[in-house]
Amino acid sequence: MSEKKSAWKEPMVWLLVVLPATAVIASLATAWIAYDGADTLVSEPHHKVGLGIKAGTAPTPANK
């Protein structure tokens, strides 16, 4: 009779474990990158600056 092999010694089992695990790790890394590099809210009066550009007047720089 043949000896029973452990399921972990089969290559297909590793394929079924590694591929979903890689997807989970990649999704967590993507979520971390998205959270860490999140855009800040606009605090300057961007609507008034846009209206000034449309009217032909140059907007004043906010930082100077």
Kindly report, residue by residue over 3-60, the tens digit of the pLDDT.
888 888 888 999 999 999 999 999 999 999 988 987 777 667 777 777 767 776 665 5
What pTM was computed for the model?
0.53
Residue 8 covered by a domain: yes
Residue 63 covered by a domain: no
Residue 17 covered by a domain: yes
Residue 43 covered by a domain: no
Residue 19 covered by a domain: yes
Our count of domains for the chain comes to 1
3-state percent breakdown (helix, strand, coil) of the chain, nearest 5: 60, 0, 40
Residue 60 covered by a domain: no
Q: Which domain holds residue 14?
A: 1-37
Rounded to 5 degrees, φ, ψ at 9 are -90, -5
Phi-psi label, residue 32: left if phi above 0, alpha if psi -120 to 50, beta otherwise? alpha
